[in-house]
């Protein structure tokens, strides 16, 4: 098993003239890029992934955390996307328990509101048929009120229960990257693709710019795949001026679990615009989301929730759970992500845009964007299919599993708490053994209401290419989002860890702390009120 790519070592070799030629270079370190890296490496191609920020920095750390088929796509008649999504959901549930976990969804019916019980039963029967299992059921008011304390029972006419899945999306990206690196791939974060290389008007590589050095490096490749999501037009426009991406922002608020403990997902229609809203448990907190709005801000600046979105989500929750109404001051943190949707009509309602992915080939550049978190494997396969004429024959491989199945069981890994052991196996694979053995008992204690531990912080600092404190607190773990005040209570112990494992002196720590707190306050807290 290999550690994450040693960024400085690989860049040093490139500056010395080594590792300048690749079969495949992937631009973009979100779930799509990670998926392409995974499938490319298993086919035996020498593959490099390049990300200008941290891995999963964009959409893939700021989704709604759901691995699902999307009932609204089925309701809109998109059978193909729904079927693919549900079947990929089943695959991920089987291959990565502890990372992708099943959860019950409940949808309420109210008198005079669409959809009703019969329409939803038809939709869910088709949904379950695609999954190969029939588990949806009707629940009466008493069942709903017993599961969701304080649910508004005005005009309530029961609801439907069905199963989908939930995930830590950033950890999903990191697990796919790690298994890809074990297969021989390389992945560089905080490295920008400055331009495309062309020979005879055909893309033959990239020029990268290392943020730590002023010089550029030219890298050659048989195939360059643009998997930059919401940024896809920017790279593609170097060889094709067409603009196809419609960036849409989805924002969420997080409240402490103590304000509204919840085990399942409640989904309902917002009283204003009838869009679907979710309330669900995630990493020891309760989340309310999401919005769906055009995002016109600079894509290189992290997306942030607006005050109107905060009000929108508070109204959604407080209308559905009036006895547990929450105030703005009780919000723990927020996040906002930008979805790379393929635009169709300029004035079309954002929520009615399709969520299909698209693949384009322009002068040898393969661009893949759009789609859903759930279908990243299929998206990657389509991208490689588009590139196959420029690649040598793929090597044979015995399994098409995304993840390598650990040989150890959760019970043998951590008999004191098998559920935590399964969580580690899902997130770290076989490396979970080393993570547990390399930590002290105190470092395995849960932090706050979360299941994150200092053992995972230590592991990330040692092996997961952490360059900045925000990498650790917002993506390797979610402690900055799930603990009060951005996890400020952990600063002393984390400073010691960063000193011992990364060699950060006090000056570097203070610089990183200032950077992290500025990011957290602007992009993961509440917007400032003038």
Q: 210 with 265, same domain?
A: no
Q: How far is CA 281 from CA 64, 111, 148, 258, 335, in A?
A: 11, 27, 12, 11, 15
Rounded to an integer, what distance in angstroms lies between the CA atom of residue 39 and that of residue 45?
Answer: 9
Rounded to an integer, what distance in angstroms lies between the CA atom of residue 291 and that of residue 285?
Answer: 19
Which residues have CB under 8 Å from 228's CB, separation 6+? 27, 28, 30, 33, 234, 235, 369
pLDDT tens profile 294-310:
999 999 999 999 999 99
Mean pLDDT throughout 502-523? Answer: 98
pLDDT of residue 351: 65
pLDDT of residue 210: 76
Which tokens in the block code for residue 171?
A: 């950890």
Q: Are strands 21-27 and 156-167 parallel, antiparallel or unpaired?
A: unpaired
The chain-wide mean pLDDT, for the chain, equals: 94
Q: 178 with 253, same domain?
A: no
pLDDT of residue 369: 96
pLDDT of residue 64: 96
Residue 420, in any domain of the structure: no
Rounded to an integer, what distance in angstroms lies between the CA atom of residue 527 and that of residue 365?
Answer: 39
pLDDT of residue 344: 63
Residue 494, in any domain of the structure: yes
Where is pLDDT greater, at 60 or 134? 60
Question: In this structure, are residues 356 and 81 in contact, taking their beta carbons and an 8 Å threshold?
Answer: yes
Q: 150 with 28, same domain?
A: no
- Report which of 444, 162, 63, 450 is spatially closest to residue 282, judged by C-alpha positions: 450
Give the confidence band of 467 by pLDDT, cuts at 50, 70, 90. Answer: very high
pLDDT of residue 327: 97
pLDDT of residue 134: 86
Q: 365 with 238, same domain?
A: yes
Where is pLDDT greater, at 529 or 328? 328
Question: In this structure, are residues 493 and 444 in contact, taking their beta carbons and an 8 Å threshold?
Answer: no
Half-sphere exposure of 202 (CA within 13 A, CB side): 8
Q: 262 with 332, same domain?
A: yes
Task: Give the domain CATH number at 160.
Answer: 3.30.9.10
pLDDT of residue 352: 61
Give the confidence band of 1 by pLDDT, cuts at 50, 70, 90. Answer: low
* pTM greater than 0.75 (yes/no): yes
Q: 373 with 511, same domain?
A: no
pLDDT tens profile 95-136:
999 999 999 999 999 998 888 899 999 999 999 998 888 889
Which tokens in the block code for residue 472?
A: 């650790």
Q: 199 with 291, same domain?
A: no
Question: In this structure, are residues 167 and 31 in contact, taking their beta carbons and an 8 Å threshold?
Answer: no
Residue 317, in any domain of the structure: yes
Residue 182, in any domain of the structure: yes
Give the rounded distance of the alpha carbon of 240 from its chain centre.
28
Rounded to an integer, what distance in angstroms lies between the CA atom of residue 516 and that of residue 474?
Answer: 9
Which residues have CB under 8 Å from 443's CB, separation 6+? 453, 454, 455, 458
* Residue range of the domain that includes 504: 438-524
Q: How far is CA 269 from CA 77, 110, 136, 289, in A?
A: 19, 10, 19, 11
Residue 483, in any domain of the structure: yes
Q: 451 with 479, same domain?
A: yes
Residue 146, in any domain of the structure: yes
Q: Percent of the chain having pLDDT more than 70?
A: 97
Q: 336 with 262, same domain?
A: yes
Residue 84, in any domain of the structure: no
Q: 201 with 234, same domain?
A: yes
Q: 362 with 337, same domain?
A: no
pLDDT tens profile 355-364:
689 999 999 9
Question: In this structure, are residues 212 and 33 in contact, taking their beta carbons and an 8 Å threshold?
Answer: no
Mean pLDDT throughout 485-490? Answer: 98
DSSP 244-255: -EEEEEEEEEEE
Task: Give the domain CATH number at 19.
Answer: 3.50.50.60
pLDDT of residue 346: 60
Helix, strand, coil percent content, the chain, rounded in steps of 5: 40, 25, 35
Q: 447 with 509, same domain?
A: yes
Mean pLDDT throughout 418-446? Answer: 97
pLDDT tens profile 333-349:
999 999 999 976 566 67
Give the confidence band of 70 by pLDDT, cuts at 50, 70, 90. Answer: confident
Please tell me the total count of domains within the chain.
3
Three-state secondary structure call for residue 51: coil
Residue 253, in any domain of the structure: yes
Three-state secondary structure call for residue 83: helix
Q: Looking at 328-394, list the stretches that DSSP marks H as alpha helix, in order from N- to C-terminal side.
A: 376-387
pLDDT at 174 over 70: yes
């Amino acid at each position: 098993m290999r550690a994450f790519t040693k960024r400085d070592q690989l860049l040093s070799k490139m500056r010395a003239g080594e590792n300048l030629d690749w079969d495949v270079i992937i631009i973009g370190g979100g779930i799509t890029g990670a998926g392409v890296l995974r499938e490319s490496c298993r086919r035996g191609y020498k593959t490099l992934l390049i990300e200008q920020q941290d891995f999963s920095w964009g959409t893939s750390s700021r989704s709604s955390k759901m691995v699902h088929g999307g009932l609204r796509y089925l309701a809109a008649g998109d059978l193909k996307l729904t079927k693919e999504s549900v079947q990929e959901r089943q695959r991920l549930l089987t291959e990565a328990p502890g990372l992708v976990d099943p959860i019950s969804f409940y949808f309420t019916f109210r008198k005079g509101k669409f959809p009703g019980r019969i329409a939803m039963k038809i939709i869910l029967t088709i949904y379950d048929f695609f999954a190969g299992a029939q588990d949806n059921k009707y629940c009466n008011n008493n069942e709903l009120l017993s599961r969701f304390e304080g649910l508004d029972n005005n005009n309530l006419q029961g609801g439907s229960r069905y199963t989908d899945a939930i995930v830590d999306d950033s950890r999903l990206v990191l697990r796919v990257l790690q298994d890809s690196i074990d297969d021989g791939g390389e992945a560089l974060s905080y490295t920008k693709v400055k331009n495309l290389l062309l020979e005879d008007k055909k893309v033959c590589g990239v020029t990268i710019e290392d943020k730590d050095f002023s010089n550029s490096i030219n890298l050659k490749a048989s195939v360059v795949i643009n998997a930059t999501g919401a940024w896809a037009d920017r790279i593609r426009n170097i060889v094709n001026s067409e603009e196809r991406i419609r960036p849409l922002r989805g924002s969420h608020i997080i409240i402490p679990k103590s304000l509204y403990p919840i085990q399942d997902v409640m989904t309902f229609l917002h009283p204003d615009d009838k869009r679907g809203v979710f309330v669900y448990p995630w990493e020891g907190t309760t989340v309310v989301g999401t919005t769906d709005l055009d995002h016109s801000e600079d894509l290189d600046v992290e997306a942030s929730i607006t005050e109107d979105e905060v009000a929108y989500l508070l109204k959604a929750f407080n209308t559905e759970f009036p006895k547990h109404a929450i105030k703005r001051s009780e919000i723990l943190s927020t996040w906002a992500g930008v979805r790379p949707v393929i635009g169709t009509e300029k004035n079309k309602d954002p929520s009615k845009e399709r969520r299909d992915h698209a693949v384009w080939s322009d002068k040898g550049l393969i661009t893949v964007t759009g789609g859903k978190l759930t279908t990243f494997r299929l998206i990657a396969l389509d991208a490689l299919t588009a590139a196959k004429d420029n690649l040598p024959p793929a090597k044979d491989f015995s399994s098409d599993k995304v993840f390598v199945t650990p040989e150890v069981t959760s019970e043998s890994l951590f008999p004191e708490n098998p559920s935590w052991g399964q969580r580690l196996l899902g997130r770290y694979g076989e490396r979970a053994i080393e993570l547990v053995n390399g930590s002290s008992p105190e470092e395995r204690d849960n932090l706050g209401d979360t299941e994150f531990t200092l053992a995972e912080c230590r592991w990330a600092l040692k092996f997961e290419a952490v360059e900045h404190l925000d990498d650790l607190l917002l993506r390797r773990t979610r402690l900055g989002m799930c603990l009060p005040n951005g996890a400020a209570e952990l600063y002393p112990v984390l400073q010691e860890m960063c000193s011992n494992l990364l060699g950060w002196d006090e000056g570097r720590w203070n610089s990183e702390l200032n950077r992290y707190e500025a990011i957290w306050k602007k992009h993961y807290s509440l917007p400032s009120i003038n």
